[in-house]
Structure 1
Amino acid sequence: MTAGGADVDVLVVGGGPVGLAAAVEARTAGLTALVVEPRGTPVDKACGEGLMPGAVDALARLGVDPPGRPLAGIAYVRGDLRAEHRFRGPSGRGVRRTTLHAALAARAADMGVERSDGRVTAVEQDATGVVAAGVRARWLLACDGLHSTVRRLTGLEGPAASGRSRRSRRRYGVRRHYRRAPWTDLVEVHWADDVEAYVTPVADDLVGVALLGPAPLDLDRALAAMPALAGRLAGAEVDGPDRGAGPLRQGTRARTAGRVLLVGDASGYVDALTGEGLRLGFAQAAAAVAHLGDPAGYERAWAAATRDYRLLTGTLVAVATSPLRPALVPAAVRLPPVFAAAVERLAR
């Protein structure tokens, strides 16, 4: 046993990319780590699959280098209008989610991270430890996603959205893969009246399309409103089932409760519009391990790591769900320095 009669130093609930990164961070810090995840490896999910340059750097620091396609920048497209910016520094990477997850799982195993297929139905803690899924740990890192069970069990859920106007602004996501060669080295964001389609090259013969917007989401119907994108995908074979997620916005009262720390999407989420969820999740994983036993320090680190994301993404979502939406891409075209500055800020 570890200090204090615990079975393990760090119990990570959720074995997705952020949970595995948190476990690797713990092992790098000389701590024992166990991941609780009932699903087998690799786990697929609805996501844009574009890693920003900062996320690629974070993976390299963890010793993970998944294969994929270089991403040189971001383009916003609406009809004949196109604004694009190429990263000034290193490229990002388009990586199939299952490929990324398998690479992180292999690294975690190499680092001696243990794994359990249990489920968390209760969280109990005292002055020296926390118990969940039949395991006693010194600390628990909740990396269990948008609809975090640990967040709910520890009373850290933020106020629920209420009122018709808030419900009408709830956004969801659905992702589909097409078997065809990528036509660009950029992430293209195609804008229609009420949805956006995020197009990401993820392999030499595979393109991912992630649709964001209000429910119900119908990818085929959305593509009909984006003829240029529909033309690119015409005749391409759909690879695998569509996957959905949402509602995307999730609030939290705080990121810590005693010896429990919320990490990644479980710690609160604004929207996938800016495509930096994994970059932020990896940064939070590092901060959580660095601040075990220092909840106030983790709260400060979390706030610093997510400040730009919360401000810019919140602003963009507010515009995207308002009558100003049709002006967003034209503004990006007319103001390239502003568009470039926003992309660079979020990329790092």
Structure 2
Amino acid sequence: MIDVLVAGGGPAGLATAVHAALAGLEAVVVEPRTSPVDKACGEGVMPGGVAALRALGVEAEGRDLRGIRYLDGRRSVEAAFRGGTGLGIRRTVLHAALHERARELGVRMVTGKVGEVRQRTDSVSAAGLTARWLVAADGLHSPLRRGLGLDLPGRSPGRYGLRRHYRCAPWTDFVEVHWSAYGEAYVTPVGEELVGVAVLSRSRRGYDEHLAGFPALHAALRGPHASTVRGAGPLRQRVRRRVAGRVLLVGDAAGYVDALTGEGIALALASAGAAVRCLAAGRPADYEGAWQHLTRRHRLLTGALLSFSGSPRTAGLVVPAAARLPAVFTAAVHALQ
């Protein structure tokens, strides 16, 4: 019998499979798309995520990131990462590297979708396969999570993200977060001549209309478009729990606050590792507590920033406050890395 059946072959699912293989468990990944898979993503991996990738034996090319910089058109404040660098990396490059590592370790890939899930006392069946455990890594709007009745209704207007790349030389080795009254723009260098720009907002507008709200950034993007616009949202996903019988939720499927602090990949890798450790130890019920612990700081800090970004009046206070209290800003960046 398969030990771990993984629904979803994105970074969280592939990391789960790699962790399982390294733990001596047989893992099978079910994914309908072919590798590499692209999606709307800020493409900045925090230092903790970089360390997690290396621990999995995954090496991928990108641009070293030294820290985080906040700007509002008049002021800027920055904080360097402590004890390591982040990584700006195209989502497709990251996905290909994880996919290759899983293949190296003998993980079997099955093309298809996981639909109905049937659980028994000692096994779970889905997609024509039977395993001891099923890990749902099927993304932000996880159909498996919904099918298991684990979704909770949202509490506030949803935020949405849009991303596009520009063919130009990066002007910074920081992730730049440009703040406005109605959203943020995230600049991540991901190649020698490639910059990714993602915008996040509660306003449902086109990418160019959003970008016009950041005139200094707009002027710096002199290169041609290097990709089409991709979108995602609503971002906030509330989840009742992360364990349902023999099914565990990891990555975005396990719940999501916002992309504002750029920890999506790092948290996906961390939750994948925690889930497999609990399964390998024969204590799957411990995963809920492990998830709560590893995401607590992120949820608190991201939630606090979201409360400020929720209105034009308070959003305009974020960068001035960070500039007046640089030690606090640096401490927040270090806490999230």
TM range (shorter): over 0.9
> When the two structures are aligned, how many residues end up with a matched partner?
334
Is the CA contact 1:130–1:140 (under 8 Å) kept in the aligned structure 2? yes
Where 2:239 maps in the other structure, the secondary structure is: coil
Letter in 2 for 1:338: V
Is the CA contact 1:33–1:114 (under 8 Å) kept in the aligned structure 2? yes
Is the CA contact 2:182–2:203 (under 8 Å) kept in the aligned structure 1? no
- Give the TM-score normalised by structure 2: 0.97
Is the CA contact 2:70–2:77 (under 8 Å) kept in the aligned structure 1? yes
Give how far 1:227 is off. 1.6
Question: Of 300, 313, 316, which residue of structure 1 is paired with 2:302?
Answer: 313
Where 2:38 maps in the other structure, the secondary structure is: coil
Give how far 1:325 is off. 1.1
Question: Of 168, 172, 182, which residue of structure 2 is paired with 1:194?
Answer: 182
Give how far 1:176 is off. 0.2
Whole-angstrom distance in 2 between the partners of 1:120 and 1:285: 18
Whole-angstrom distance in 1 between the partners of 2:74 and 2:59: 37
Where 1:239 maps in the other structure, the secondary structure is: coil
Question: Of 297, 303, 308, which residue of structure 1 is paired with 2:292?
Answer: 303
2:259 corresponding residue in structure 1: 272
Where 2:291 maps in the other structure, the secondary structure is: helix
Question: Of 260, 264, 278, which residue of structure 2 is paired with 1:291?
Answer: 278
1:230 aligns to 2:218 (yes or no): yes
Is the CA contact 2:242–2:249 (under 8 Å) kept in the aligned structure 1? yes
Give how far 1:193 is off. 1.4
1:203 aligns to 2:197 (yes or no): no
Whole-angstrom distance in 2 between the partners of 1:208 and 1:191: 16
Where 1:272 maps in the other structure, the secondary structure is: coil
2:23 corresponding residue in structure 1: 29
Whole-angstrom distance in 1 between the partners of 2:213 and 2:201: 14
Give how far 1:222 is off. 2.3
Give how far 1:173 is off. 0.4
1:95 corresponding residue in structure 2: 89
Give how far 1:288 is off. 0.2
Deviations 1:22-46 (A, max 9, x none): 0000000100000000000000000
Whole-angstrom distance in 1 between the partners of 2:137 and 2:213: 36
1:178 aligns to 2:178 (yes or no): no
Give how far 1:226 is off. 1.4
Letter in 2 for 1:334: R
Where 2:320 maps in the other structure, the secondary structure is: helix
Is the CA contact 1:172–1:217 (under 8 Å) kept in the aligned structure 2? no
Question: Of 329, 333, 336, which residue of structure 2 is paired with 1:339?
Answer: 329
- Give the TM-score normalised by structure 1: 0.94
1:157 aligns to 2:151 (yes or no): yes
1:246 corresponding residue in structure 2: 233
Give how far 1:88 is off. 2.1
Give how far 1:321 is off. 0.5
Whole-angstrom distance in 1 between the partners of 2:205 and 2:42: 15
Letter in 1 for 2:295: T
